[in-house]
Structure 1
Amino acid sequence: MSSETLTGRLARAAEQGRVPDLHAVIAVHRGQVILEHYGEGEDHLLNEPLGHVRFTPDTLHDVRSVTKSIVSLLYGVALADGRVPEPHEPLLRHFPEYADLAEDPRRSALTVEHALTMTLGLEWNENVPYTSAANSEIAMEMAQDRYRYILERPVAEEPGTRWTYCGGASALLARLVEKGTGAKIEDYARARLLEPLGVTSFEWSAGDDGVALAASGLRLTAPALLEVGRLVLDGGRDLVPASWLEVATRPHVRIDEGFHYGYQWYAGDGWTGGFGNGGQRLYVSSPLDLVVAVNAGQYNVPDQPTAQVVLDEVILPAVRA
């Protein structure tokens, strides 16, 4: 397999209109870069238009909900340091400021693992555009107290029963890291994960209250996103405990046939990954010795096929050949 073959596959997919709004893709197979492409197009910083951008290896890009997967890595680092609760521990025990909520036995049954697996059983809806206050994540960011907003949502079902996509779960996890370490999540990320990986340029968007958006706010270059994936493929090196990666990236709750969720990571047959609005994708496959990072600009549209086409029609057929 040659890089030219993959470049040709990608060019054909682009000519056929199969990969609209592709901003960047990098794939590393068996330690070698097999595809690296940078495009151009309209981009946004969350909901703020940035205009027409020509993307390069140095261009910061929203990774949107891949941020959640990186928060999971930071949780594992803090857990190894004894700074955050074990997954089985009661969640509200570590939010004593909401003692009134803990009086509800249904809420007191919540554990950290329910946040890690997005099985809190609370009413939460992110199936409307992220430009609307009807979206629970946006409503959380608009709330006077985002953590109370999450924890006081009506109880919809027994925790641990069903996966419901929930940016609030990621916000709770980041807050536990901040409580335990005494550092803002963005500072902890810089010191314990990103700078040790050689990532010196990044941004973490914050809400109006100055709190970093743990569900969707991280901005990385495509090579930096790839390095996070390589870290996962390499078992965490000396930065993230291998034991945490093993449990975080394995299936814990079923989303659909062949599609599961771990601890803020998606999991399928032979792969794990982080997904973000617009077509952001971090794909890691140990059996294939493959890491792929994709940035795209299909924000807030119903179908966002670009990243999946890049994987399914360009990269994976060549790697498996």
Structure 2
Amino acid sequence: VLILRNNKLVYEQYFPGTDVTRGVGFVGFKDHHRDSLHDVRSITKSVVGAAILIAHAQGKIKSLNQRVFDFFPEYAKHDTGMKKQITVQHLLNMTAGIEWDEEISYLDPRNSEIKMNNASDAIEFVLSQIIIDTPGKKYNYSGGCTQVLAAIVAKATGIPVDKFCEQYLFKDLGIEKFTWAKIRSGDPSAASGLRMRSRDLAKFGLLFLNNGKWNQKQIIPAHLVARTLTSQATTQYADSIVPFVGYSNQFWIYTEKIKGELVDYVQTQGNGGQIILLDKKNDLELIITAGNYNRRDLRKNSYDIYTDFVYPAIVRNIQKDTLTEHIKALTYHAITSEFKFDTAAIAKLMDDDFISVYPHKKQNKQQELDGIFKSSMERIKENHIIDTLILDDFKVQLFDHTAIAIYYSVTKGTKKGIPFDNNRMRWYDVWVKRNGEWKWVSSQGTLVNK
């Protein structure tokens, strides 16, 4: 589990567990660590989607609306009927309209991806499937779409998709350690063949979280990233908890109800609990790798970590930050009102039991207000003008319904026309929330130095 906030890694933890290699099977119980490669399965699809966007940006693929069969004249016999309408964009959004079934288990030989992987010509297998919907009309999950996308990369650029990604994507991201399994035809498995490190998955996610830019280099044009992070196809997987599940350029687009709030995020995910989750609003990325391959029966899985733990923690931190700024604002308002001799404003902020403590005296609310009024009269009489109030090193400590503001103050001005610079004071102001309103209950000032 890795969590990144504001482009910084804030949590990283690895756990021992089972490891499975695609095409090989169970390889043992492993002590996973930072440099461990892990089967990321369908996260591979999103990498292939990125390769298409890069090839398009390079001008190798002239348009995402280009017909798929334009790249495959050798399969012209399948270029018939509504299949003539299938475009690269349809493949990216899995709306090609061809018959395909990956809803059944990947352990079942009738699964369409398994059939494709075992075919001598995977691309012909996909393009030969019958068409059952108008292209662009209906979403249907299909690793076949992704395999054809990988073949388009190879056709358009002259470089196999694994080598293309290595040269034009991974190299820029500093991803050096990975493997990419092949299918029977000898082509890289575009649907589920990558093994990667968790930290490298984080780099891939950050590329999209940062609008396609990495180390000041624009790897994927920002407008293509923005389109990828916005749903282009509506899937059939929505329910009462997740009222919207969309798809775009091999990425999943979610709106989920968390603690009664609708939360939007983007995800690339793979069989077994592999996740790259992007919460752009909160500038957060969550990486999860797991070994629950082909376990569709789990009551709780990787997908619940964000909703159960990560997002609630974000909300708590946001609430804490917001409250901290509110207490700072109240304290600043109180102090500036005092130096403006605005006793009405100060009285409104003070609790009835307010008490102030200074180096040589202690006062209740009324005594404090009387002292402010008396001070104002003396300053007017002596032409004592405070024109600068400096508050610095401001900190707020929060304890349920109590907040303590700790800060330093210095005042500057003139007295009878002569400039002065007052002593530096350290303050401890206590605020308590009562009946939904924060009240100023005490203030202690201590002389620090001259």
- State whether TM-score is above 0.5: yes
**Alpha carbons of 1:85 and 1:50: their partners in 2 closer, same or farther (altered >3 Å)?**
farther
Contact 2:42 2:269 in 1 (8 A): yes
Q: Deviations over 1:143-190 (max 9, x none)?
A: 121111101111112221211100000011111111111111111111
User: Using the alignment, how far apart are the partners of 2:73 and 2:294 within structure 1?
Assistant: 36
Instruction: Look up the equivalent residue of 1:240 and give its one-letter code.
Output: I
Instruction: Give the corresponding residue for 1:35.
Output: 11
Equivalent residue for 2:251, pick from 265, 268, 274? 265
Instruction: Give the corresponding residue for 2:310.
Output: 315
Instruction: Give the corresponding residue for 1:229.
Output: 205
State whether structure 2 residue 128 is matched by structure 1 residue 152: yes
Alignment of 1:237-276 (within 5 A): 237=213, 238-255=218-235, 256=238, 257-269=243-255, 270-276=264-270
Q: Deviations over 1:13-62 (max 9, x none)?
A: xxxxxxxxxxxx10101223222110011110125111011100100001
Instruction: Give the corresponding residue for 1:22.
Output: none
Instruction: Give the corresponding residue for 2:152.
Output: 176
User: Using the alignment, how far apart are the partners of 1:112 and 1:73 within structure 2?
Assistant: 13
State the TM-score, normalized to the length of structure 1: 0.89
Equivalent residue for 2:139, pick from 163, 168, 171? 163
Q: Structure 2: 5+ residue runs without aligned partners?
A: 256-263, 317-450
User: Using the alignment, how far apart are the partners of 1:203 and 1:136 within structure 2?
Assistant: 24
Contact 2:181 2:188 in 1 (8 A): yes
Let me know the Cα RMSD of the aligned residues. 1.3
User: Using the alignment, how far apart are the partners of 2:84 and 2:67 within structure 1?
Assistant: 7
Equivalent residue for 2:282, pick from 280, 283, 288? 288
Instruction: Give the corresponding residue for 2:47.
Output: 70
Q: Structure 1: 5+ residue runs without aligned partners?
A: 1-24
- Identical aligned pairs, as a percentage? 30
* 2:153 partner SS: helix
Instruction: Give the corresponding residue for 2:437.
Output: none
Equivalent residue for 1:92, pick from 69, 73, 87? 69
* 1:34 partner SS: strand
State whether structure 2 residue 96 is matched by structure 1 residue 120: yes
Instruction: Look up the equivalent residue of 1:82 and give its one-letter code.
Output: G
Instruction: Look up the equivalent residue of 1:199 and give its one-letter code.
Output: I
Instruction: Look up the equivalent residue of 1:244 and give its one-letter code.
Output: L
* 2:13 partner SS: strand
Tell me by how many angstroms 1:85 deviates.
4.1
What is the number of residues matched between the two proteins?
296
Tell me by how many angstroms 1:210 deviates.
2.1
Tell me by how many angstroms 1:268 deviates.
2.2
Tell me by how many angstroms 1:303 deviates.
3.6
Instruction: Give the corresponding residue for 2:390.
Output: none
User: Using the alignment, how far apart are the partners of 1:83 and 1:31 within structure 2?
Assistant: 31
Instruction: Give the corresponding residue for 2:194.
Output: 218
